[in-house]
Amino acid sequence: MRSSGFAAAEKSAVTAACQHLIDDFLKPRFLPAIRPTQFNYPVDILGKWHGTKYRFIQRYRSGFPENLGEEFDAPFARLDWISRGRFDLQWHRHTGEWFCLYRSLTLAEAIDTLGSEGLFHPH
């Protein structure tokens, strides 16, 4: 199955590499435990595909009395497939817009950059 030239096998490899980054680096470092507060607090770090774009998301839960327990997602980084084996890295700005910081990286370069560049980490 192909979507705009993006092969299912490549998509599967990207998913596995991103999940490895989430499970082995992001969650242990940025969400070692869920700590409920009276405000919004993080409860998960996950990834989701949107077409050929893989978004890294931090899920929050509300501790406010008026919407106690409601959850929402806040994306913080995005890996965009641009051609076979090449990806752009996008940072989610506080304005809600995506900003491309790196272009045409290999998957290995993109994963390394996501792990080493603080701007791509959850808040």
- In angstroms, rounded to a whole number, what is the distance separating the alpha carbons of residues 118 and 51? 26
51-96: pLDDT as tens digits:
999 999 999 999 999 999 999 999 999 999 999 999 999 999 999 9
| pTM, full prediction | 0.92
26-41: pLDDT as tens digits:
999 999 999 999 999 9
Tally the domains of the chain: 1
82 Cβ contact list (under 8 Å, min separation 6): 88, 103, 104
Domain residues for the domain of 29 are: 2-120
Does the CA dihedral 30-33-36-37 come out positive or negative?
A: negative
